[in-house]
């Protein structure tokens, strides 16, 4: 899974990137190339499995992150660093839109004042303009190809024309994809996926709040949250500065600092869960003496699809899966006891993987 981090300059994008990846890159408001790194997805169930099963290593699921230069008003016309870096996030699965929701006289805002809604609208305008430029550039070629009578070429023209019409009046491509939307059909959505339009991507809004506002009670955070939710979006509150400090501490000091702040978990855990929910993902596990590992699959994935996430050979030669749950392991304390209790299930190709399943894949190639 790959996620892009976007926003205007100097609002905490790279600080959040550092908190997620622990890479410690410079927060210079942009630069000549994107920051790319990998973040581990926190999951307490890995430690639970390890309580009852010795292993050589524990491997959380991961998310690849791409942090691109901030977008200023007029980026589509070359203002600031322009929008040339948006090409680096055209093929990601989702976007994290970071928005400043704190006042700090020592950290000036590029627009001179903090206004989360204005900043959201500014960035989304630039994304729509970038998408409009892309589909308009494709239109002539697509229409020439459609004159041959090819069905796929005709569909591509229909999709491009719908995109141009929507973007031209300030609507995102996502507004066309939902139930009843002009591009709701699976065929149309496949075309959109191949074009890789930015405003078609799932977006999670991240309110970057102050160190004294962890739950987002400030006027800025509440205003932003209401605006996003009124439009059907999802928002999480994170103090990127605090999150970046926490990631540098060892586990004992991190726990002590969280307790001192009255927090039960790092805000990044909340962000990871919200990202999974946004994309309709969940985790299953494999466990053994060599490693305990979390794997990410879409909700509704069948057992062979899950096997393919581990290795293509497992999917190709899938026979069956032996399955139990983390809750089963907590109750019975070992796989042998789970088997003896009749809780170890044998599932075939039609089984839908559930969040928290622990699987052994049996295959033959």
pLDDT in tens, 202-261: 999 999 999 888 888 999 999 999 999 999 999 999 999 988 888 888 888 988 988 888
Residue 196 has pLDDT above 80, yes or no: yes
By CB atoms closer than 10 A (0-12, 13-18, 19+), residue 202 is middle
Q: Within 10 A of 315 (CB to CB), how many other CB atoms are there?
A: 18
**Cα 114 to the center of its chain, rounded Å:** 26
Q: Which is nearest to 88 in space by CA: 62, 68, 64, 63?
A: 68
By CB atoms closer than 10 A (0-12, 13-18, 19+), residue 85 is buried
For 347: left if phi > 0, alpha if psi spans -120 to 50, otherwise beta; the answer is: beta
166 vs 87, more confident:
166
- Of the CA atoms within 13 Å of residue 245, those in its CB half-sphere come to 11
Q: Over range 160-175, report the average pLDDT.
A: 92
**Distance in angstroms (rounded) separating the CA atoms of residues 23 and 143:** 46
Residue 162 has pLDDT above 60, yes or no: yes
Q: pLDDT (tens digit, 9 = 90+) per residue, 270-298?
A: 888 899 989 999 999 999 999 999 999 99
- Comparing 14-23, 123-132, 260-269, the range with the smallest average pLDDT is 260-269
Q: What is the per-residue burial (b if ≥16 Cβ within 10 Å, else e) of 154-186?
A: bbbbbbbebbeebbeeeebbbbbbeeebbbeee
Residue 184 has pLDDT above 90, yes or no: no
**Domain coordinates of the chain in residue numbers?**
2-241, 300-363
Share of the chain above pLDDT 70, in %: 95
Q: pLDDT (tens digit, 9 = 90+) per residue, 225-235?
A: 999 999 999 99
Architecture of domain 300-363: Roll (3.10)
Q: Are strands 62-67 and 2-6 parallel, antiparallel or unpaired?
A: parallel
**Distance in angstroms (rounded) separating the CA atoms of residues 166 and 136:** 12
Q: Which is nearest to 11 in space by CA: 210, 217, 193, 254?
A: 210
| Same fold? 2-241, 300-363 | no
Average pLDDT, the chain: 89
- Looking at the DSSP bridge assignments, the partners of residue 4 are 66, 95
pTM of the model: 0.88
Q: Over range 304-328, report the average pLDDT.
A: 96
Architecture of domain 2-241: Orthogonal Bundle (1.10)
H or E segment at 303?
helix 303-310
Q: pLDDT (tens digit, 9 = 90+) per residue, 17-36?
A: 988 887 777 665 445 678 89
Q: Which is nearest to 107 in space by CA: 243, 249, 266, 240?
A: 240
């Amino acid at each position: 899974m790959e996620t892009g981090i976007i926003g205007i300059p100097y609002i905490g994008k790279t600080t959040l990137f550092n908190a997620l990846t622990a890479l410690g890159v410079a927060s210079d408001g942009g630069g000549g190339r994107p920051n790319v790194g990998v973040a581990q997805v926190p999951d307490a169930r890995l430690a639970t499995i390890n309580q009852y099963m010795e292993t050589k290593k524990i491997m959380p699921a991961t998310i690849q992150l791409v942090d691109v230069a901030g977008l200023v008003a007029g980026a589509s016309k070359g203002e600031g660093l322009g929008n040339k870096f948006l090409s680096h996030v055209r093929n990601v699965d989702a976007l994290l839109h970071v928005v400043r929701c704190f006042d700090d006289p020592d950290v000036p805002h590029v627009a001179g004042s903090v206004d989360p809604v204005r900043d959201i609208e500014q960035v989304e305008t630039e994304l729509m303009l970038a998408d409009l430029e892309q589909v308009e550039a494709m239109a002539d070629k697509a229409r020439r190809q459609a004159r041959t009578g090819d069905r796929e070429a005709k569909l591509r023209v229909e999709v491009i024309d719908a995109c141009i019409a929507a973007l031209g009046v300030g609507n995102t491509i996502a507004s066309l994809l939902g139930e009843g939307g002009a591009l709701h059909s699976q065929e149309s959505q496949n075309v959109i996926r191949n074009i890789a339009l930015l405003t078609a991507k799932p977006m999670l809004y991240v309110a970057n709040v102050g160190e004294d506002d962890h739950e987002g009670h400030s006027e800025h955070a509440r205003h932003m949250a209401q605006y996003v939710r009124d439009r059907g979006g999802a928002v999480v509150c994170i103090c990127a500065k605090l999150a970046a400090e926490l990631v540098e501490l060892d586990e004992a000091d991190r726990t002590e600092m969280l307790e001192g702040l009255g927090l039960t978990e790092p805000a990044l855990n909340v962000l990871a869960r919200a990202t999974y929910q946004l994309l309709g993902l969940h985790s299953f596990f494999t466990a053994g003496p060599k490693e305990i590992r979390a794997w990410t699959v879409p909700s509704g994935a069948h057992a062979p699809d899950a096997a393919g996430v581990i290795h293509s050979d497992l999917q190709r030669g899938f026979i069956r899966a032996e399955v139990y749950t983390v809750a089963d392991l907590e109750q019975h304390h070992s796989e042998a006891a789970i088997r003896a209790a009749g809780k170890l299930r044998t599932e075939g190709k039609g089984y839908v993987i559930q969040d928290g399943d622990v699987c052994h894949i049996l295959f033959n190639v």
